[in-house]
Amino acid sequence: DEEKGPQLFRCDPAGYYVGFRACAAGQKDQEAMNFLEKKLKNADTELDENETIQTAILALQTVLAADFKPSEVEVSMVTTAKPRFTVLSEADVEAHLTAISERD
């Protein structure tokens, strides 16, 4: 969008679509969506790149009740600074997992 920048939409099979600040898909997606809603309920909440990645990983860990090894989770992203699909390395994922465990 020219005014608001990048946006995220979710479309269901019936063609209904709605904008989101964060979205989950797949098994236990509703629980993940609830987790993300709670984390981002404040409309003024702006997360930087690292906080966004860590929130996404934490949502998976919470919903699946699992701690991940870097080889067990793949993190990809597209940013306005780098508008191409980028996959994080295992070392980058490990750094984020370490940051999450140190926050607790």
Rounded Cα–Cα distance for residues 40 and 47 (Å)? 9
Rounded Cα–Cα distance for residues 23 and 75 (Å)? 14
Instruction: Give the tens place of pLDDT for each residue, 6-24.
Output: 888 999 889 999 888 889 9
* Residue 36 pLDDT > 80: yes
pLDDT band at 103 (very low <50, low <70, confident <90, very high): confident
Structural domains of the chain, ranges and CATH numbers in brackets: 8-103 (3.60.20.10)
Task: Please answer whether residues 73 and 57 qualify as being in contact, where contact means their C-beta atoms are separated by less than 8 angstroms.
Answer: yes
Average pLDDT, the chain: 91
